[in-house]
């Protein structure tokens, strides 16, 4: 039986993989949360892996508090960079397949076409920098059968995310201001989880490869919020605002569309349209009209 370790088990992506795992009885899944694997303690991490072997590791764990990373840069670096470096070394030493999840924040958001995997990185905040450093560590250590998947605007029926925040605020308020000058693509974590489990058996590369995955289409946060309210029949007016009207400690990329051609071609993947996936999530949450 194929033994798979999933880190970040209680996060959005880890929770979706857990939900889907029953459809893969040929795999033995081990879901590691913070109580099992303390990512802030590198000594404990070494001890965790000391007498264990896995056929594959899916690293969903990350420090994702984008704004707080500006003041907690050391913790963000430990989880997003140093822990990832350890995973890459372990994967290389034990010939373990590794799927690592990264982010559109490794880019500066100044492109005028969807980013491809080989585009230069230029993170603008500590979150993006630590994630970029994690990628670099994997590429330097170069374990075989490893892929990095960059994604964007992740949401789910699990955890805290934009969709659930909009649902809550939309029921509490008559109107909301939502940013319209940041453009990207939402990613339903269940779709990404399904894609990961589909590609895992086919990973067979000598050096790490980078892929991009989000749902299809392009949208602003404003348009995303409008769709959430429309599909859930919430009567809340949405007003477009600019980024400078909603200042945050960390800057966000204004343009973070990801080109998914490589992952679709290499693994024969079909990727759902963002609005269709949003509706599926809202059905799961019991929020559709």
Q: Which amino acids are annotated catalytic?
A: 127
Here the tokens at position 135 are 């990628």
Strands of 81-190 (E only): list them. 97-103, 146-151, 154-155, 175-179, 183-184, 187-188
Residues 6 or more apart whose CB falls under 8 angstroms from that of 81 comprise 130, 131, 133, 134, 137
Strand partners, 258: 115
User: Tokens 């960079």 correspond to what residue?
Assistant: 81
Other CB atoms within 10 Å distance of the CB of residue 43: 8
Report in angstroms the alpha-carbon separations of 42 from 81, 96, 126, 286: 11, 19, 20, 40
């Amino acid at each position: 039986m194929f033994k798979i370790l999933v880190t970040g088990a209680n996060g959005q992506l880890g929770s979706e993989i857990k939900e889907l795992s029953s459809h893969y009885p040929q795999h033995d899944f081990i879901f590691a949360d913070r109580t099992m694997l303390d990512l802030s303690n590198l000594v404990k991490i070494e001890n965790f892996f000391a007498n264990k072997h896995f056929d594959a590791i899916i690293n969903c764990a990350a420090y994702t508090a984008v704004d707080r990373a500006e003041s907690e840069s050391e913790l963000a670096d430990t989880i997003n960079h140093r822990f990832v470096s350890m995973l890459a070394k372990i994967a290389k030493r034990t010939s373990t397949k590794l799927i690592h999840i990264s982010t559109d924040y490794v880019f500066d958001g100044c492109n005028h076409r969807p980013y491809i995997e080989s585009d230069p990185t230029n993170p603008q905040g500590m979150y993006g920098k630590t994630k970029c450093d994690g990628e670099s560590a994997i590429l330097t250590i170069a374990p075989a059968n490893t892929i990095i998947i960059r994604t964007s605007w992740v949401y789910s029926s699990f955890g805290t995310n934009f969709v659930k925040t909009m649902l809550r605020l939309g029921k509490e308020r008559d109107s909301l201001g939502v940013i319209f000058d940041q453009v990207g693509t939402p990613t339903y974590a269940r779709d990404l989880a399904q894609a990961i489990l589909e590609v895992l058996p086919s990973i067979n590369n000598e050096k790490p490869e980078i892929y991009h995955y989000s749902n299809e289409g392009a949208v602003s946060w404003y348009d995303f919020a409008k769709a959430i309210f429309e599909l859930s029949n919430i009567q809340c007016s949405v007003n477009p605002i600019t980024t400078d009207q909603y200042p945050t400690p960390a800057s966000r990329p204004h343009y973070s569309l990801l080109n998914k051609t490589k992952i679709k071609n290499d693994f024969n993947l079909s990727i759902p349209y963002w609005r269709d996936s949003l509706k599926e999530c809202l059905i799961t949450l019991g929020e559709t009209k």
